[in-house]
Amino acid sequence: MANDTTRAANPGWTDPECPVARTLDLVGDRWSLLVIRDAMDGARSFTEFQRRTGIARNILTDRLRKLTAHGLLVQRTAPSGRRQEYVLTDTGRDLFPVILTLRQWGERHAFAPGESHSVLVDQHGTPVPRLAPADAAGTPLDSASTHVRKTR
């Protein structure tokens, strides 16, 4: 769904063959990722996104349009019927591991030891375990044990 729409809507990719570059073309600015983060945390209205992020109205309008156009959010009428709300699509929800990895990196490297910060917890209140990539046999993977292979 998003692949065909995204490809047609953005023919000027930064690096057309790189999935990382294409992803950054779509959600690589701080405001887009913060909107996605807040949508994952329950924000739905323009006002909520603005209040949580402090983003200027014009920039928020642009990011919501972009995220909607690329299939990460869908706009629908709120249950009250009085205004529109933004809801993550399956494509948007698929960014959860990305947001989690950024969060966990930040917890380890963006705060001084002992500095206060938020922690993501599961439904039982237990901190979410560190996300660590592994191969099919369970062996941890890192940049030294992987490489990029072209698919064509």
pLDDT at 8: 47
**pLDDT for 10:** 55
Q: What is the mean pLDDT of residues 129-142?
A: 95
Architecture per CATH, 2-145: Orthogonal Bundle (1.10)
Compute CA 145 distance to the chain's CA centroid, rounded to the nearest angstrom.
Answer: 26
The pLDDT of residue 55 is 96
Confidence (pLDDT) at 30? 94
